Structure 1
Amino acid sequence: MLKLAALSGVDVRVLIPERPDNPLTYFAAYAFLDSLLEAGVEVYRYEGASCTARPAWWTTSARRQAP
Protein backbone atom coordinates (compact mmCIF):
# COMPACT_ATOMS: atom_id res chain seq x y z
CA MET A 1 0.00 0.00 0.00
CA LEU A 2 2.81 2.43 0.81
CA LYS A 3 4.56 1.74 -2.48
CA LEU A 4 1.32 2.08 -4.46
CA ALA A 5 0.52 5.36 -2.73
CA ALA A 6 3.99 6.75 -3.49
CA LEU A 7 3.76 5.69 -7.12
CA SER A 8 0.37 7.45 -7.28
CA GLY A 9 1.96 10.72 -6.24
CA VAL A 10 1.18 10.71 -2.52
CA ASP A 11 3.96 12.04 -0.29
CA VAL A 12 4.75 8.95 1.85
CA ARG A 13 7.15 9.15 4.78
CA VAL A 14 8.02 6.31 7.14
CA LEU A 15 9.75 6.57 10.52
CA ILE A 16 11.56 3.45 11.78
CA PRO A 17 13.90 2.89 14.74
CA GLU A 18 17.65 2.64 14.19
CA ARG A 19 17.88 -0.19 16.75
CA PRO A 20 14.55 -1.94 17.39
CA ASP A 21 13.75 -3.90 20.54
CA ASN A 22 13.08 -7.10 18.63
CA PRO A 23 15.29 -8.59 15.88
CA LEU A 24 12.21 -9.80 14.00
CA THR A 25 10.95 -6.22 13.89
CA TYR A 26 14.28 -5.14 12.44
CA PHE A 27 14.10 -7.64 9.60
CA ALA A 28 10.45 -6.87 8.92
CA ALA A 29 11.11 -3.13 8.75
CA TYR A 30 14.21 -3.35 6.57
CA ALA A 31 13.09 -6.16 4.24
CA PHE A 32 11.23 -3.88 1.85
CA LEU A 33 13.21 -0.66 2.14
CA ASP A 34 14.89 -0.92 -1.26
CA SER A 35 11.62 -1.21 -3.15
CA LEU A 36 10.01 1.54 -1.07
CA LEU A 37 12.93 3.89 -1.70
CA GLU A 38 12.80 3.15 -5.43
CA ALA A 39 9.09 4.04 -5.41
CA GLY A 40 9.82 7.42 -3.82
CA VAL A 41 8.96 6.71 -0.19
CA GLU A 42 11.03 8.78 2.22
CA VAL A 43 12.37 6.67 5.09
CA TYR A 44 13.67 8.24 8.29
CA ARG A 45 15.46 6.42 11.09
CA TYR A 46 15.62 7.67 14.65
CA GLU A 47 17.86 6.87 17.59
CA GLY A 48 16.70 6.52 21.14
CA ALA A 49 13.89 4.69 22.87
CA SER A 50 11.42 2.69 20.84
CA CYS A 51 8.18 4.34 19.93
CA THR A 52 5.18 2.09 20.44
CA ALA A 53 2.68 4.60 19.09
CA ARG A 54 1.60 4.28 15.50
CA PRO A 55 0.77 7.81 14.42
CA ALA A 56 -0.44 8.52 10.92
CA TRP A 57 -1.02 11.78 9.11
CA TRP A 58 -3.03 12.27 5.96
CA THR A 59 -3.05 15.24 3.68
CA THR A 60 -5.97 16.30 1.57
CA SER A 61 -4.32 14.72 -1.47
CA ALA A 62 -4.26 11.33 0.26
CA ARG A 63 -7.92 11.37 1.36
CA ARG A 64 -10.51 9.60 -0.64
CA GLN A 65 -13.00 11.95 -2.19
CA ALA A 66 -16.65 10.96 -2.07
CA PRO A 67 -18.36 11.10 -5.49
Structure 2
Amino acid sequence: MDTDRTPGHAGREAARDLHESARREERRVEERKGDQLKKGEERVEERSRSSDGRSVEDKQRD
Protein backbone atom coordinates (compact mmCIF):
# COMPACT_ATOMS: atom_id res chain seq x y z
CA MET A 1 0.00 0.00 0.00
CA ASP A 2 1.41 3.38 -0.97
CA THR A 3 0.84 5.54 2.09
CA ASP A 4 2.62 8.56 0.59
CA ARG A 5 -0.12 9.19 -1.98
CA THR A 6 -2.87 9.32 0.64
CA PRO A 7 -4.14 12.89 1.12
CA GLY A 8 -3.47 14.53 4.46
CA HIS A 9 -1.73 13.44 7.61
CA ALA A 10 -4.75 11.59 9.01
CA GLY A 11 -5.14 9.66 5.76
CA ARG A 12 -1.50 8.60 5.72
CA GLU A 13 -1.72 7.52 9.35
CA ALA A 14 -4.90 5.52 8.68
CA ALA A 15 -3.27 3.83 5.68
CA ARG A 16 -0.21 2.91 7.76
CA ASP A 17 -2.43 1.52 10.53
CA LEU A 18 -4.42 -0.55 8.03
CA HIS A 19 -1.22 -1.91 6.49
CA GLU A 20 0.18 -2.89 9.89
CA SER A 21 -3.12 -4.47 10.93
CA ALA A 22 -3.19 -6.58 7.77
CA ARG A 23 0.43 -7.64 8.34
CA ARG A 24 -0.33 -8.72 11.94
CA GLU A 25 -3.43 -10.63 10.81
CA GLU A 26 -1.45 -12.45 8.12
CA ARG A 27 1.23 -13.45 10.63
CA ARG A 28 -1.41 -14.71 13.07
CA VAL A 29 -3.09 -16.81 10.37
CA GLU A 30 0.27 -18.20 9.22
CA GLU A 31 1.14 -19.17 12.80
CA ARG A 32 -2.19 -20.98 13.23
CA LYS A 33 -1.86 -22.67 9.86
CA GLY A 34 1.77 -23.64 10.51
CA ASP A 35 2.78 -22.55 7.00
CA GLN A 36 3.06 -19.33 5.04
CA LEU A 37 0.10 -18.11 3.05
CA LYS A 38 0.55 -18.19 -0.69
CA LYS A 39 1.30 -14.85 -2.31
CA GLY A 40 0.26 -13.21 -5.57
CA GLU A 41 -1.29 -15.35 -8.29
CA GLU A 42 -1.08 -18.53 -6.23
CA ARG A 43 -3.11 -16.90 -3.45
CA VAL A 44 -5.84 -15.76 -5.85
CA GLU A 45 -6.09 -19.27 -7.26
CA GLU A 46 -6.12 -20.89 -3.79
CA ARG A 47 -8.84 -18.55 -2.48
CA SER A 48 -10.92 -18.97 -5.62
CA ARG A 49 -10.81 -22.77 -5.41
CA SER A 50 -11.63 -22.80 -1.71
CA SER A 51 -14.76 -20.72 -2.24
CA ASP A 52 -16.47 -22.97 -4.79
CA GLY A 53 -13.96 -25.53 -6.07
CA ARG A 54 -13.58 -23.91 -9.51
CA SER A 55 -10.42 -22.32 -10.85
CA VAL A 56 -10.20 -18.69 -11.90
CA GLU A 57 -9.99 -19.70 -15.58
CA ASP A 58 -13.19 -21.78 -15.28
CA LYS A 59 -15.05 -18.84 -13.76
CA GLN A 60 -13.88 -16.46 -16.50
CA ARG A 61 -15.13 -18.79 -19.24
CA ASP A 62 -18.67 -18.84 -17.82
Band the TM-score falls in, shorter-chain normalisation: 0.3 to 0.5
Question: Based on CA coordinates, which of the two structures has the bigger radius of gyration?
Answer: 2
The structure with the greater share of residues assigned to helix is: 2
The structure with the greater share of residues assigned to strand is: 1
Which structure has more relative contact order (CA 8 Å, sep 6+)? It is: 1
